Amino acid sequence: MTKVAVIAGVGPGISAATARRFAAAGYQVALLARRRDALDPLAAETGGRAYPCDLTSPEDVTKTFAAIRADLGEVEVLVYNAGGGVFADVEHITPDDFEASWRVNAYGALLCSQAVIPAMKAAGNGAIVFIGATASRRGGPRSAAFAAGKAAQRALAESMARSLWPAGIHVALIVVDGVVDLARTRAQRPDKPASFFIKPEGVAETVYQLCQQDRSAWSFEVEARPFGETW
């Protein structure tokens, strides 16, 4: 029986690399994002399955995870990569910006987690990895909305780690501290050398290795930061 890894929040960077990494290790990958056209090529490439889903909708999440269970079996690994938010200070965000950031970074993470915890708990085994950011730890002047969402996600992850580790569920958080190497980010920073960027494959490898750790020596929070970054 093939093990199942869900990648929630699929785009061109970390999530795609993570899907490839788990597929290469023999996992069946379930790919979740709002739009199907973002999912199909990656599903084809990885032999995975695409599930269009609004991750911030309780009904959608419930329905989607039921479908995954029916199609592929119980989920062993959940990687929550959905995220984002406007970058502006408190004077230049709207309450709706603030809410949108919280909803995708934190509320959706709760919904997906609650969808997989019961079966993981029954199995006494599983991993839930959240993809965080610098803002998970630090509220910068221009991350009034984004940092509040990521901090809520981090607090949820920490609470979950404390309550779920003893049940054999490895909850962890990756703090992506830098700019991920994408066509889009390269275009935005044409002045920067390749060494400035975080390779999605590097983050994906760390996600994968976290899921291989012996349970006597688990990590909760792990940074992924380029060697040339000032921090």
Residues in 55-84 that interact with a second copy by CB under 8 A: 58
Q: Which pair of tokens denotes residue 159? A: 């609470």
Q: Does 181 bind a second copy (CB under 8 A)?
A: yes
Pick 52 or 87: Cβ nearer a second copy: 87
Cα 25-104-220 angle, rounded to 5 deg: 50
Cβ count near 186 (within 10 Å): 14
> Restricting to residues 137-156, which ones interact with a second copy according to CB under 8 A?
138-144, 147-156
Residues that bind a second copy (rule: CB under 8 A) add up to a total of 77
- The whole-angstrom distance between residue 181's C-alpha and the CA centroid of its chain comes to 16
Q: Does 10 bind a second copy (CB under 8 A)?
A: no
Q: Determine the interface stretch with a second copy among 4-12, 26-34, 41-49, 195-203 (rule: CB under 8 A).
A: 195-203
Instruction: Tell me how far, at minimum, the Cβ of 26 lies from a second copy, in Å.
Output: 19
Residue from 71, 90, 188, 189 in contact with a second copy (CB under 8 A): 90
Q: Which residues contact 164 (CB under 8 A, 6 or more apart)?
A: 117, 120, 121, 128, 171
Cβ count near 89 (within 10 Å): 12
Q: Which pair of tokens denotes residue 36? A: 């199907």
Measured distance CA(111)–CA(31) in Å, rounded: 16
Instruction: Tell me how far, at minimum, the Cβ of 44 lies from a second copy, in Å.
Output: 26
Pick 72 or 85: Cβ nearer a second copy: 85
Q: Does 158 bind a second copy (CB under 8 A)?
A: yes
